[in-house]
Structure 1
Amino acid sequence: MVNYRYLGNSGFKVSEITFGNWVTHASQVGNDAAIATVHKALDLGITTFDTADTYANTAAEVILAEALKGQNRAEIEIFTKVYFPIGRMGPNDHGLSRKHIFDGIHGSLKRLDVDYVDLYQAHRYDYETPLEETMQAFADIVRQGKALYIGVSEWTAEQLREGHALAKSLGFQLVSNQPQYSALWRVIEGKVVPTSEELGISQIVWSPMAQGVLSGKYLPGQPVPDGSRATDEKSGANFIKRFLDDDVLAAVQKLLPVAEQAGLTMPQLAIAWVLQNPNVAAALVGASRPEQLEDNVKASGVKLDADTLAAIDEALLPVAVTDPENTYDVSPKTRLV
């Protein structure tokens, strides 16, 4: 079964392997397959599910609701997000204004068919809305019982510090940040993680397998596999391009004997690696087939020894992205609308 970890400085526990439906539901796989993967996740002990209103332009939330129908609400944890425009591109349909946040939470609750979400997250930082307005809106949503906890995604260390202070002054906690993190993309280690540890904020990390590159299926000098994420513009092809470099792919192949020595598959090694970081509360995994989850969940509870961690660093650090300055380029400086 899957282990649990506390989310931030709170009493709230989440499954350390969390199911995310970013590029799968209503996009990469059909609805029946999507529902089957959620049911498999539940069977394997995953109780925490992450989505967003913008995934498949709201359809991912709808499918998740269908898949979770009949489950005891108290026994599952549902996360969603707000920031990006959905449906239409009106002047108030983007960002973290009070209006867009309240429109967002009401829409998500209706689509998810729940009275509350466990975690409501700012999908990016909004440079055009005063942070005080954003945090006050989140505080009111918590007080109204529409969200139990508040998190963010891809915020910088400075943004986390300012948001944490405002949340505290308004009587609620900022408990989490959701950044990209893998053995190939380590930009949060320099500033975001130390600041988060100080403030009591956990990381819920996405792409722990570097968009599938750390599975080892992409080979240097070879065409990308048919049907893989790299060939599907709807399923994150743009995100994987940065890793499809022959030097990177050759370095990843060096991990095969490391994984075998540890008794793990390559995907398990990648997921276990991010979970060695004590500031990581959960690794987000997706799946287009139920059997993929059976492999992934075996990374829960794995302790990598010092030799294994050193071997991973020796193979990947020369090609990994580590510069903390990359955390400052994720949130758009201006709104799309």
Structure 2
Amino acid sequence: MATAVHHHHHHHLFRTNPNAFDAKKRCGRTESRGRVSGRAVRCERVESGAERVAVVKNGSDSLEICRVLNGMWQTSGGWGRIDRVEAVDAMLSYADSGLSTFDMADHYGPAEDLYGIFINRVRRERPPEFLEQVKGLTKWVPPPVKMTSSFVRDSINVSRKRMDVTSLDMLQFHWWDYSNPGYLDALKHLTDLKEEGKIKTVALTNFDTERLQIILENGIPVVSNQVQHSVVDMRPQQRMAELCQLTGVKLITYGTVMGGLLSEKFLDTNLSIPFAGPPLNTPSLQKYKRMVDAWGGWGLFQGLLRTLKEVAIKHGVSIPTVAVKYILDQPCVAGSMIGVRLGLSEHIQDASAVFSLILDEDDVNKIQEVSRKGKDLQRIIGDCGDEYRRA
């Protein structure tokens, strides 16, 4: 188990060679600070306070990402109609405020297409060094057919075309069935496409520790694994983080604010009375409510929210900000997702506050204590990603 001392030295994990970036100075010029609302939070390397960027790498492959990522699962349909123009405007305002890394997938409705429209506006309307900051991470979730070279290539070409980029910044690969060894074939073909310059970095999503090890032993240069990780779901710190420490693979986390359950909105609510509390009216709220039930139920969860609120008040921030920072401070975590409901709701303030928040030992102990009151999800659900592989 992770001990309470970890957070003292967590910050050196993401120190990278500072000289490497001197050549291309960050676009966040100081005179723009505070002039445009939110401009001060450029995802740039700053010496003071917490790192805003992390570098994920394996061998000579590396990618710099913003440590708070904009998750685009919300464009896939269950959250309300997406207006194209409004969605792209919203993406621009996230990028302008420094939150310039977007995470999507081939199956998130129009997410990749929206990114394509957005990146073209960035090319036309922003300076080239701004374009350099913008990153689009996507996922490929193939059906379990034979993973031939041409099938993999054609699939990746679809994402490249939709996102309108010559090279995907990151391709995160998902595989449903471990008993079908086709995932190694797929990853070998993806590595070939990377060598050809069609993909900059190869990564995984929802793989477990055992398979991550097999993949690395097969010489696949994986830079990260995207897994569910929150104050409620601490499974990645059990087996996965240990392997990551040894190999340098980083974690990118989702479900970190549990679809919004980890927020003031659900504090002091009673879900057992119909219509009394806020409705669980999105796919993510329903999904993470099931996690809460597995972890220990709504009563225990209320205790967790009260503790997070206490810490939030102390630092003058919100519950989601504390929830995200707590996970960013965990070993091997490079970045955490906050879902964006483009044109529907906004989290720029909360996300930006993450970078200036520093949780002290007292905060960490408090959160850890209540987080550990829940059940051991590793025992109930299994390792990272196993929730998707239940028979």
Structure number with larger C-alpha Rg: 2
What is the rounded CA distance, in whole Å, between the counterparts of 2:322 and 2:224 in structure 1?
A: 24
Contact 2:56/2:249 (8 A) holds in 1: yes
Q: 1:204 aligns with which of 232, 243, 252?
A: 252
Change (3 A) 1:102 1:331: farther
The residue aligned with 2:138 is 80
Residue 85 of structure 2 corresponds to residue 28 of structure 1? no
Deviation at 1:22, TM superposition (A): 0.6
Larger mean CA deviation between 126-135 and 106-115 belongs to 126-135
Post-superposition Cα deviations, 1:148-205, rounded to whole Å, max 9, x if no partner, equal: 110001111111111112235xxxx210000000011111111001101111100010
Q: Give the structure 2 partner of residue 247 of structure 1.
A: 299
Instruction: Provide the rounded CA distance (Å) in 2 between the counterparts of 1:51 and 1:229.
Output: 26
CA 1:69/1:113 → structure 2, altered by over 3 Å: closer, same or farther? same
**C-alpha distance 255-100 of structure 1, shift in aligned 2 (>3 A):** same
TM-superposed CA distance for 1:228, in Å, is 6.5
Distance between the aligned counterparts of 1:298 and 1:272, measured in 2? 9
TM-superposed CA distance for 1:319, in Å, is: 2.2
User: How far is 1:115 from its partner?
Assistant: 0.8
1:291 aligns with 2:324: no
Give 1:215's aligned residue.
263
Greater mean alpha carbon deviation, residues 174-183 or residues 159-168: 159-168
State how far apart, in whole Å, the 2-side matches of 1:328 and 1:76 are.
28
Compute the displacement of 1:301 (Å): 4.6
Indicate conservation of the 8 Å contact 1:211/1:240, yes or no. Answer: no
Letter in 1 for 2:281: T
- Residues 139, 167 of structure 1: 8 Å contact kept: no
For the pair 1:300 / 2:352, whether they are aligned, the reply is: no
Q: CA deviation at 1:326?
A: 3.7
Structure 1 segments unaligned to the other structure (5+ residues): 86-90
The DSSP-based 3-state class of the residue aligned with 1:71 is helix
Q: What is the aligned-residue identity percentage? A: 22
1:294 positional shift? 2.1
* Structure-1 separation of matches of 2:275 and 2:117: 31
TM-score normalised per structure 1: 0.85
Aligned amino acid, residue 312 of structure 1:
I
Question: Does the CA contact (< 8 Å) of 1:151 and 1:175 recur in 2?
Answer: yes
Q: Are residue 144 (structure 1) and residue 196 (structure 2) matched?
A: yes
- The one-letter amino acid paired with 1:276 is D
Q: Which range moves more in the overlay, 138-147 or 296-305?
A: 296-305
**Quick check: 1:40–1:290 contact (8 Å CA) kept in 2?**
no
CA distance 1:220–1:83, change in 2 (3 Å) = same
Give the CA deviation at 1:6. Answer: 1.2
Distance in 2 of aligned mates of 1:24 and 1:134:
27
Q: Which residue of 1 aligns with 2:67?
A: 16
Could you say if the C-alpha distance between residues 158 and 237 of structure 1 is closer, same or farther in structure 2, counting changes exceeding 3 Å? same
Q: Is the alpha carbon distance of 1:156 and 1:271 closer, same or farther for their aligned partners in structure 2, counting shifts above 3 Å?
A: same
Shift of 1:99: 4.9
Identify the match of residue 49 of structure 1 among 99, 102, 107: 102
Deviation at 1:232, TM superposition (A): 2.8
**Cα contact 2:103–2:138 (8 A) shared by 1:** yes
* Matched AA of 1:299: V
Q: Supply the distance in 1 between the matched residues of 2:289 and 2:140 (Cα, whole angstroms).
A: 24
Pairing of 1:143-222 with structure 2 (within 5 A): 143-168=195-220, 173-218=221-266, 219-222=268-271
Aligned match for 1:309, one of 352, 361, 364: 364
Aligned-pair distance for 1:254? 2.9
Aligned to 1:327: 384
The alignment's TM-score, normalised by the length of structure 2, stands at: 0.74
Given the alignment, which residue of 155, 162, 179 partners 1:111? 162
Query: Relative to 1, partners in 2 of residues 1:122 and 1:159: Cα closer, same or farther, differing over 3 Å?
Result: same
1-side partners of 2:275 and 2:354: how far apart?
A: 25
Distance 2:72 2:385 in 1: 25
Q: Secondary structure of 1:175's match?
A: strand
1:72-103 C-alpha deviation (Å, 9 max, x unpaired):
45332111111245xxxxx74xx866454323
Structure 2 residue corresponding to 1:272, chosen from 325, 336, 341: 325
Work out the CA distance in 1 between the residues paired with 2:364 and 2:229: 16
**Which residue matches 2:335?**
282
Contact 1:189 1:322 in 2 (8 A): no
Which consecutive residues of structure 2, in runs of 5 or more, have no partner in the other structure?
1-40, 44-51, 124-130
Q: For residue 24 of structure 1, report the CA deviation from its aligned partner.
A: 3.3
Query: Where does residue 69 of structure 1 map in the other structure?
Result: 120
Structure 1 residues 158, 112: CA separation in 2 closer, same or farther (over 3 Å shift)? same
